[in-house]
Amino acid sequence: MSDTTQNGPMLAADGTPLKRSLNRALRRQKLRALMLIAPLLIFVLVTFIAPIADMLFRSVENQIVSDTLPTATEVLEDWDHTTGAPPGEEVYQALYYDLYLAAEARAHTRLGTRLNYEYTGVSSLFRSTGRGLEDLGEEYQDILEDADDRWGEGAFWYELMTGTGDTDARLVREHRARLQALENARLTGDVGFAPSVEIKELLPQTTFAYTDFAVFTALMDEDVVAEEDPWEGVYAGLAQDLETADLSGYDGPGAEALVAAQQTLAEQAEPINYTAFFESEDKDWVSPDIWATIQTYSSTYTGGYFLNAVDMQLTPDGIEMRPDGQRLYMVLFQRTLFMSLTITLSCILLGYPVAWLLANLPASKANLLMILVLLPFWTSLLVRTSAWKVMLQQQGVINDVLVWLGLVDDAARLVMINNQFGTIVAMTHILLPFMILPLYSVMQGIPPSYLRAAKSLGATNWTAFWRVYFPQSVPGIGAGSILVFILAIGYYITPEIVGGRTGTFISNRIAYHISTSLNWGLAAALGAILLAVVLLLYWAYDRIVGIDNVKLG
């Protein structure tokens, strides 16, 4: 059209290349669309996806062991459980100081609860030992303070540990990280203490224990380190260090007090023995089984919960099946699947004729029927379930009628509740509308003329229904079945009330582990498996029937 020939790219009105200008406009539009749905997206992410992901993550998370006993689990790595002997003194030594800090932070009992899921008795072992830890240090503290009052003064200790030369800030950082892991929180603030390098080399265990004390005092109690008297555990560290320390080259603060203390302890105190201390606290501490359990579960992530969820267990010798009498979850998974399928089938059988009636009756009658279908929706779930209890129990309405009619002997009333039958009946009733509604909306879309055409071409009633009508209603069955099945598989309240011994679902166990046993890891593993099973069935359904064949209306 124009007589000017254009070389180069086509330009927009403002002179920028058209391609870029279009891209920019498109991008702006996309961004605007994204911003429009952003509130919903963020809402779903924050309130739905993130909590579920967090919960499922617990099924493998196992930091608590290495967070609570960081040094002990590290030293324990070299120990071989197959020897049948308890680990060496160095493990008990590490355990003492790990547990000491954990007990101050009141985190040792949490670990006890965690390990008690794997080894019965650890809970009280940690609880009682946590109370006794101070006794070991107190012995030495008394001897030292009797000899020299200064050992009981916070300011003297602070001067001794800070020294005069270079200080080691890295150690403080490490111990702060240790405490943060224990408390599960970020701890900011100044510790106001760093051990001198000289003292750290001379008295390593004392420095270790004192730094724990200093970090905890400054960050958790929010006190000034120099004004507080150290924990009893610090004295245990000092006693251990002084057994071997060579003080001849040391002339920093408190040098003469240290020499005197070495003398006093050598004369008056027994050499420190951590193994003997733990054995006197509880014999179980020298049992190799406990240590094997700690070693097995010391990794940051564990498959232990998932193994438990399928009736296996992680033992020091590898993966094993649980003993015969203790297998529970596979039975429950199978039962849950079987019963959900049964419920779905009975919903199809009962719902199909109702939906057909709804779709084919005149509007006035269909509306009345529709209200009857929806009525259960407006009644509390608990009321509906409890009503079934009244109906089905042995002294209930149905049994009374049967006895009155003479069909059942008074002494042999039917057992219809607190078993699988009761759960199936009650849940079929509760979930029926979820089958009827999709079926109804699909059936409404099937023109009645098809059936009439089939019949006029010579089909019997049955052939017309089976060959013409039914195939067109399959998408409704598919949609209803998926709805009912997925709702049923995770159902909790009804099986809990009417399930009795044989009618409970896996969800009842999940609820138990969430709210009663507090074993959230196992609950998460069970939940993850359940989710996987549902997704797998959904995939299979898609392959066999095709998800395009599902219609809600």
Partner 1 sequence: MKLTQSLLAGTALALVAGTASAQDMTFVSWGGAYQMSQQKAYVEPYVEANPGVSITWDESSAEAVARLRAMNEAGNITWDLVDVVAADAIRLCDEGLAMEYDPEDMLAPADDGTSAEDDFGDMIVSDCFIPQIAYSTTFGYRTDMVPEGVDAPSDICSIFDLETYPGRRSLERRPINNMEWALYCDGVAKDEIYDVLATPEGQDQALAKLDTIKDDVIWWTAGADTPQLLADGEIFMGSTYNGRLFSVIVEQDQPVAMMWDMQVFDLDGWIIPTGLSDEKLEAVKDFVYFATDTQRLADQAAYISYGPARQSSAPLVGEHAELGIDMAPHMPTNPENAENTLLYNYEFWADYRDDIDAKFQAWLAQ
CB atoms within 10 A of CB 498: 27
Find the binding residues for partner 1 in span 310-349 (CB under 8 A).
325-328, 331-332, 335
Determine contact, residues 143/232, Cβ cutoff 8 Å: no
**Part in contact with partner 1 (CB under 8 A); list of ranges 109-117, 251-259, 339-347, 400-408:** 109-117
Q: Does 123 bind partner 1 (CB under 8 A)?
A: yes
Residue 454's closest CA among 466, 467, 462, 464?
Answer: 464
CA-nearest of 292, 158, 171 to 228 is 158
- Nearer CB in complex with partner 1: 273/508: 508
**Binding segment for partner 1 among 103-111, 250-258, 400-408, 427-435 (CB under 8 A)?**
103-111
Contact window for partner 1 (CB under 8 A) among 30-38, 120-128, 170-178, 368-376? 120-128
* The one-letter amino acid at 338: F
**What token pair was written down for 537?**
């069935």
Taking CB under 8 A as the binding criterion, the range among 38-46, 117-125, 213-221, 355-363 that sits at the site for partner 1 is: 117-125
| 502, 535, 546, 553: which one binds partner 1 (CB under 8 A) | 502
Of 233-241, 273-281, 450-458, 508-516: span binding partner 1 (CB under 8 A): 508-516
307 versus 332: smaller Cβ distance to partner 1: 332
Q: How many residues bind partner 1 (CB under 8 A)?
A: 38
Judged by CB, which is closer to partner 1: 176, or 509? 509
Which residues inside 193-232 make contact with partner 1, applying CB under 8 A?
none
- Alpha-carbon distance of 294 to 65, in angstroms, equals 8
Q: Alpha helices of 2-57 — where are they, by DSSP H?
A: 18-44, 50-57
User: What span, in angstroms and rounded, lies between the C-alpha atoms of 96 and 496?
Assistant: 45
Ramachandran region, residue 163 (left: φ > 0; alpha: ψ -120 to 50; beta: rest): left
Q: Is 501 in the site for partner 1 (CB under 8 A)?
A: yes
* Dihedral pair phi/psi, residue 551, rounded to 5°: -130, 135
Q: Which of 56, 90, 127, 387 binds partner 1 (CB under 8 A)?
A: 127
Contact 308, 319 (CB under 8 A): no
Residue given tokens 């006035």 in the structure block: 364
Residue 305 makes contact with partner 1 by CB under 8 A: no
| Interacting residue with partner 1 among 11, 12, 52, 113 (CB under 8 A) | 113
Closest-CA residue to 111 (of 286, 313, 238, 297):
297
Q: Which is nearer to partner 1, 279 or 282 (CB)?
A: 282
Least distance (Å) between residue 105 CB and partner 1: 8
215 beta partners:
none
Our CB check for partner 1 shows the closer of 158 and 305 to be: 305
β-bridge mates for residue 318, sequence order: 315
Position 263 contacts partner 1 (CB under 8 A) = no
Closest approach, Cβ 286 to partner 1, in A, equals 18
Asked if residue 478 binds partner 1 (CB under 8 A), the reply is no
Q: In terms of CB distance, is 440 or 505 closer to partner 1?
A: 505
Per DSSP, the three-state class of 192 is: coil
- Stretch binding partner 1 (CB under 8 A), from 13-21, 108-116, 138-146, 447-455: 108-116
**Distance in Å, CB of 515 to partner 1, minimum:** 4
- Rounded alpha-carbon distances, angstroms, from residue 87 to 64, 81, 199, 233, 518: 21, 8, 29, 21, 31
Per rule CB under 8 A, is residue 514 in the interface with partner 1?
Answer: yes
- Work out which of 56, 61, 66, 109 binds partner 1, going by CB under 8 A: 109
Q: How far is the CB of 331 from partner 1 (least distance, A)?
A: 5
Phi-psi region of 406 (alpha: psi -120 to 50; beta: other; left: phi over 0): left
CA dihedral of 436, 437, 441, 442, whole degrees rounded to 10: -50
Please say which residue, 71 or 420, places its beta carbon nearer to partner 1: 420
- Per the CB < 8 A criterion, the answer to whether 491 and 505 are in contact is yes
Q: What share of the chain is helix, strand, coil (3-state, %, to 5)?
A: 70, 5, 25
Q: Of the candidates 41, 98, 33, 32, which has an alpha carbon nearest to the alpha carbon of residue 64? A: 98
CB of 522 to partner 1, least distance (A): 9
Half-sphere exposure of 431 (CA within 13 A, CB side): 30
Question: In one letter, which amino acid is 321?
Answer: M
Q: Counting contacts by CB under 8 A, is residue 529 touching partner 1? A: no
Closest CB 187 distance from partner 1, rounded Å? 14
Angle between helices 470-489 and 520-544 (to 10 degrees): 170
When binding is defined by CB under 8 A, the residue of 496, 541, 549, 551 that contacts partner 1 is: 496
Give yes or no for a contact between 382 and 523, defined as CB atoms under 8 angstroms apart. no
Mapping DSSP onto H, E and C, the string for 223-263 reads CCHHHCCCCHHHHHHHHHHHHHCCCCCCCCCCHHHHHHHHH
Among 124, 444, 472, 549, binds partner 1 (CB under 8 A): 124
Helix (H), strand (E) at residue 313: strand 312-315
Tracing tokens 């009633």 back to the chain, one arrives at: 461
Cβ closer to partner 1: 158 or 505?
A: 505
| 52 lies in the site for partner 1, by CB under 8 A | no
Asked if 418 interacts with partner 1 (CB under 8 A), we say yes
List binders of partner 1 among 10-39 (CB under 8 A).
none
Counting contacts by CB under 8 A, is residue 517 touching partner 1? Answer: yes
For partner 1, give the closer residue by CB, 116 or 298. 116
> 93, 129, 217, 519: which one contacts partner 1 (CB under 8 A)?
519
Residue of 141, 275, 393, 423 interacting with partner 1 (CB under 8 A): 393
Which residues are at the interface with partner 1 (CB under 8 A)? Answer: 106-107, 109-110, 112-113, 116-117, 120-124, 127, 325-328, 331-332, 335, 393-396, 418, 496, 500-502, 504, 509, 514-519
